[in-house]
Amino acid sequence: MIFSSVTFLFYFLPAFLICYFAVPGTRAKNIVLLVFSLVFYGWGGLPNVVVLAVSIAFNYAMAQVIDARPEPTRLRMLGLAIAINIAGLVVFKYSGFLAENFNILLEPTGLALPVVHLPLPLGISFFTFHAISYLVDVYRRRVKANTRLDEIIVYIIMFPQLVAGPIVRYSTIANRIRDRRTTFGRVSAGLRIFVIGLSWKVLIADEVAPLANVAFDQVGTPVFAEAWLGVLAYALQIYFDFGGYSNMAIGLALAMGLKFPRNFRTPYGARSISDFWRRWHMSLSSWFRDYVYIPLGGNRNGHVHTAINLWTVFILCGLWHGASWNFIIWGAHHGAFLVLERTPFGRWLKRAPLVVAHAYTLFVVLTGWVWFRALDVHHAGAMFAGLFGLNGFGTPVAAMMTALQPLTIAMMVLGWPLAMFGLPIMKQGPLSQRVRYMLYGFSDSVVVLLLFLLCVMTVGAAAYSPFLYFRF
């Protein structure tokens, strides 16, 4: 079940909201949220629920152990708990990839490991990172281990953020899980944010997706125009797809009286790769900063050590997105430019004209998306050849010309300014309190209603289109 489906919009969500607001008290609302989250997650298959249940039970128990033990036992228990969480992620997500690569090394010996690609539990990367952050925060004494199992289950399993984030720290939401209130203003603002996110996904991301699919999925070699249209379209698709999901999750949480962290802030308007990662998937980048980069030493031990830490973090970030050399190279690609920006080049970039800094950042990000989206390393090479004109400057294939519909072109033209600069936020006037949580100034209820109607008509007529980050 996805947020932009008829099942969710017309059956699941209305039923949830009616039940949620019909019951009194936070404890009862948590039960409603828990039950509906189990239904939402179980929609993808009961094996998913079993894996999630084991993860929740294990991390609930380990948090109690870590909180109660003295040093150095606490640290050993934390290390064990993190290792088991990572082991579960490796088994489901990386075992086949690791076996394939070990078999390349073992080929001269005539030996081979069995290659097994297990079905990937929905959202395993996200709920594993939620669990690890909870355990680490308990160890650091930022929060007490919660003895109420139902509240830990709600934290891990709440359906708005379960399968694709944003990554919510337990320390930032613990109080509202136990005691929260809803107001008409919050519900109104939350549902508006939800509609804005839905429109990002349905009206922009899904509309430009055919251009990216033609460029990246065709068998041949894309010519210059195809390659650039495909990369530009994919950059918009992944931003408005994932950003749209994040907005929907944030909006639903706000309507329920919760608060999720912002996940995007006009990322394509960044003027450096460091700035880009302060704007893109902000909950993930801050997670890696706080739980990997800083524990490794951060930038405290000289330039070489800092460079190694940055490369380590972004290669892990690439691996987190998928078991493929493409993702590893994508992470290394970003890590390399982050290291470069800590040299005199970074100081020059800060003084460079704004248009130069934007152009540099967009070029690095767009070429990085080639690694992220390409089917494999060989196909990424063909895309790069197209981008640099090595495949010629001929006419795009018929499928690309067919995908260039007027509405698609309009969404490409609208999408880029929106992704780079956003819309002005309304800060003054009598409506300021009502719209303070809204993104990019959509304060007019009529506009939001029209967006929702357009989304409904599009969803009703369109084919199934899952969110891109569901696969991670």
C-alpha 253/C-alpha 259 separation (Å) is 6
- Which residue among the candidates 281, 321, 334, 379 is catalytic per the annotation? 321
**Angle 406-421/206-217 helices, nearest 10 degrees?**
100
Are 226 and 386 in contact by the 8 Å Cβ rule? The answer is: yes
Going from the C-alpha of 12 to that of each of 43, 250, 257, 276, the distances in angstroms are 11, 18, 19, 36
Question: What's the token pair of residue 210?
Answer: 């055919």
How does DSSP classify residue 72?
Answer: T
C-alpha 205/C-alpha 199 separation (Å) is 9
The three-class DSSP label of residue 60 is helix
The three-class DSSP label of residue 223 is coil
**CA angle, 217 as apex, 212 and 218 as ends, to 5°?**
110
321 in active site: yes
Report the candidate in 170, 127, 173, 145 with the shortest Cα–Cα distance to residue 78: 145
Question: What's the token pair of residue 355?
Answer: 């248009």
The three-class DSSP label of residue 69 is coil
Q: Please give the full DSSP string across 330-372, using - where no structure is assigned.
A: HHHHHHHHHHHTTSHHHHHHHHS-HHHHHHHHHHHHHHHHHHH
For the chain, the maximum distance between any two Cα atoms, rounded to a whole number of angstroms, is: 75
Residue 403 host element (H or E): helix 398-403
Q: Give 300: exposed, middle or buried? Use CB within 10 Å, 0-12, 13-18, 19+.
A: exposed
Q: Looking at the annotation, which residues are catalytic?
A: 321
